[in-house]
Structure 1
Amino acid sequence: MNKVAGRPVKLFRNGRNQAVRIPREFELSGNEALMHREGDRLIIEPLPRQGLLEVLAELSPLNEDFPEIEDAPPRRVDL
């Protein structure tokens, strides 16, 4: 087995799942992550952040009638 620099961590049971305590210096932002295997390695990485257009594309359309709003006349601005 290859020796890899790192820090030992504790594994424990959480119900029927095995869990790992992630030390503070390795904390990930958010509350979800992506996990996958590469050979014998288990890789945990943060989910990529979505851009505004991706978030908006996931929203359901609004099926409401909005009242007509009269535009206010433009205000004079002295520059």
Structure 2
Amino acid sequence: MTIERHVRLFRNGANQAIRIPKEFELEGREAILRKEGDHLIIEPVTKKGLIDVLAELEDLEMEFPDVDERLPAAEDVTL
């Protein structure tokens, strides 16, 4: 089922604007607006979680140095 609502366009300074009715509200504080032909499409910006970001990273091809080699042995450390 498609929900439609007639809205009026108005000016807000140099920008054309509309008020988004409550039943069309988007979550969050940001959206992406794009134009496809005569259609304007508004999509909420979804923030990726840390797991999603890490999954997109490419594997590193370098070897990491041994950072423990200059540390004293655990039994030599006093508190």
User: Does 2:37 correspond to 1:39?
Assistant: yes
Structure 2 equivalent of residue 73 of structure 1: none
- Per the TM alignment, residue 46 of structure 1 is displaced from its structure 2 partner at its CA by 0.3
Instruction: Structure 2: state its 5+ residue gaps.
Output: 54-79
TM-score, normalised via structure 2 length: 0.56
Q: Secondary structure at the residue paired with 2:42?
A: strand
Which amino acid in 1 is paired with 2:42? I
CA distance in structure 1 between the partners assigned to 2:22 and 2:3 by the alignment: 17
Percentage identity across paired residues of the two chains? 60
- Per the TM alignment, residue 52 of structure 1 is displaced from its structure 2 partner at its CA by 2.4
Q: Which runs of 4+ in 1 moved over 4 A?
A: none
CA distance in structure 2 between the partners assigned to 1:24 and 1:7 by the alignment: 11
Q: Deviations over 1:55-77 (max 9, x none)?
A: 7xxxxxxxxxxxxxxxxxxxxxx
Instruction: Structure 1: state its 5+ residue gaps.
Output: 56-79
CA distance in structure 2 between the partners assigned to 1:36 and 1:21 by the alignment: 17
Q: Which has the larger radius of gyration?
A: 2
Which amino acid in 2 is paired with 1:48? T
Aligned residues: 53
- Per the TM alignment, residue 21 of structure 1 is displaced from its structure 2 partner at its CA by 0.4
CA distance in structure 2 between the partners assigned to 1:47 and 1:5 by the alignment: 22
TM-score, normalised via structure 1 length: 0.56
